[in-house]
Structures are given as structure tokens and as C-alpha cells.
A and B are shown apart, each in its own frame.
Chain A
Amino acid sequence: MTPRRPITTIRTVITSISPSGHNVKLFALADPEGWDLPPYKPGGHIDLHLPDGPVRTYSLCNDPAEQDRYLVAVKRDAAGRGGSILLHDQIRVGQEIGVSLPRGGVDLSDPTISHRFVAGGIGVTPFLSAVAALQRAGRSDFMLHLVARGTPPLADLITPLVEAGQAVLHDTRTRPRPDLAALVGPPRDDIAVACCGPPGMIEDFEKATATWAPERLHIEYFLPPALPDSPEARPYTLVLARTGTEIAVPAGATILDTLQANGIDVPSSCGGGVCGACHVDWLAGNPIHRDRVLTPAQRERTLMACVAASADERLTLDL
């Protein structure tokens, strides 16, 4: 039957759900007929389009060389926005879930650069796929530091790394949280450092790496950082080039919310400029970019609709 709307997600089916430590479950997703899934970079992530609407972003934690499944680890967060509770309590094996194309990831392509990964709790997930890719390439020039309280999440995946001397556990139940500046050391051209964890850890990591070159740094956010208030925010007009439609954006409103309020479907997830889901190409105007994902070159053509704004009175989008 002809679909009435564009297909915007990859159809997958849950093929297994397995517990992996306290409050953590591993969900495996595959094509309904076992076809290969779109490839992803080590440390990449996908959006899960959950039943009844919520869209949640999770890091892929299996080896990217596994082409026929995506594996995500989800910690049940009773105080969260509800996505993890839904996954833990309602999603069953065999259920269909739409997912986005994979995005993001860490660059492991240069064999002369070694890697230090710093993770807080369940923030270890993106580095598991990165570690798997490095090991598959025969590389051991990496170290994973995992800060966790008590038994770490995904312990069965972490323990072999610890035993091999490729990971260090920092148990904050028995010791103070480690000094991140000491873990990453001084800036070096031949080392790249990456961090994924709760907001407090990210803040400390940003301070510890303030003098590092941006191309040697990678940060994965659990939650989007709060945008600074902009009292000077003004209303402006969005022009949709393909139809000529003009839409007024009230002062302080987001492009994403304005488009969706006008019935224009733009995939979105984090709402804070970190996940990359709501990218829209722009054609004319002077966008203000406030995301954390686009490169300067990408910003010449693309904006993230959840956080971008316009410095001029009109901004033309390729919609």
C-alpha cells in the first residue's frame, strides 16, 4: 500500500532483551528479514522512535563490524523523561521499533593517535563500540576510565577489558571521584580524549581539557546543555523555499517548534542541539548556530532546527 507520508525511520524489530547489571538492559535490534542495517561509526548513536511518540537517543555499543544488528544499553531512570521506563517495562522481543540513521561517532582513523576514554556510569556505552573497533583493528593503544558507584553497568563487557589492562574502574563508593585532569594529562598531539557522562562530569572534563586542541576532544552529552537566555531574541520570518510559505517565529521560539506547530514534520530528538536529528538545510539569511554537532563547513549549509535562530529578519530553509 502506498504510504501517505515519507518513510523517515528504519524499520527494526527487537530480537533480544537481556539484563546487564543493575537496572540496565541490552536491546538488540535487527531488520525484520535480517538484511544489513546502515553502517555506523564507532561511538555512534541512533534515535529510537518509541511507541506513542517519544524519541530517545542511545549510543550503539556493539562492534560496528556487526552489520546486521544494533545493540543499545538502556539504564532504567525512574527520574528521567520516561523513555527508559517505557523500554524496560513495556517493550518486548518481536516488537517493531523505528530507528534513525546512525549519527556521530569518534574518529579512530589515524593510527598515530591513541585514545583515552573517560566515562561516567552508563556513559560507557559509546566507548564500547569504539573499543571493539580498535581491537578489531589490532590496536591496543587506548585506555578506558570508567567512573561508577559500585559494580559498573555492563560489567560482563567491561571486565575482560580490565583484565587485559585496557580499562580502569574508579569505584566512587570506596574512593573519591578521580581528578579528570590527572586522567587525561596535559595536551598532546598524539592523544585524543573523549568523555561521556552526567553533566557534572562533563563540566569537569571541559575544564580539564580547556587547553586541548578541539580536534583531539570529543564529548558525548547525556542531556543537552542548557542554552543561555537571549534577552535580545527577536521575532523573524522563516521562508520555506519549496513552497514559498512564510511562517512567523515569535521571539525566543525555536525553528523546530515553529515548523512542527505548522504541520511540518522534522525528525527531532534531544531538543538541545547535541543529537543531530533535526538538521535542516538553509539557503538564505544569517542563521545563529547554537548546536554542538555541526562543523563550521556543515554550518555553511545546515542548521539544527531545535536551537538555531536567525540574526536577520528572514531565514530561508530548503523545505
Chain B
Amino acid sequence: MSTKKILLVDDSCTARLVNRMIFSQKTNYVLISAVDGKEAVERAKREMPDLILMDIVMPRMTGLEACRALKKDKETEKIPVILLTTRGEEQFVQEGYASGCSDYLTKPVNDVELLDLLRAYLGE
């Protein structure tokens, strides 16, 4: 079975660092990253990750806009997108699902919860 690839999208260096540490120590997933929605869409088309883990509030293109763009594109529409954000209010959660995301997690991230969710989508 080939190694699964995750595209992590976050403008926060701290968030990218902590997720990279969690993944590298506990999984065999390959992690690639982008710092905003625009880069995420480009990178997703180019690298076809198995899953996208994406923040919402980002410069240039938000996570919601990027998610909508990915779901509109035939090449990337099937890639599951998990939105990972500080915005836990109901309104934001609803907007998240309306953009086409598969799941929605709030920060601060809980490593067990995050890994369980990823395994549910990607397997071990």
C-alpha cells in the first residue's frame, strides 16, 4: 500500500510546526504544506494529496474559498478536506460544511482526535 500524502495548509508557522511534529512522530503519512488558500489549490492540483487539512482564516485566499475552488474542480473534487480552525462558532461550522468540507476541527488541536479522524479517512 502506498504512503498517504496530506496537504497541510496554515499561515501560522506554529500550527504547521505542531502538526508536522505530531505526524512525523506518530504516523507514516507524507506531509506537504502551503501557507494560504491560493497556494493550497495550486499544490493540490499538482501533487494530488489523499487529504487536505486546512485553516480558514488565511491571507490571499481563505480556507473556505479554497475548499469551494477544490470542490468545483473535477481533478480535486474527491479529495477530502478537513477544516482546522480557531473559529468554533456554529455560524463558521455551517459555512465550513457549506463550502464542501468533509469534516471540521477546532483549534487548539487535540492530537488523539486529529489522528483518529485522519485514520478514519486514510487508514493507518
The answer to whether A and B interact is no
Residues of chain A whose beta carbon lies under 8 Å from any beta carbon of chain B: none
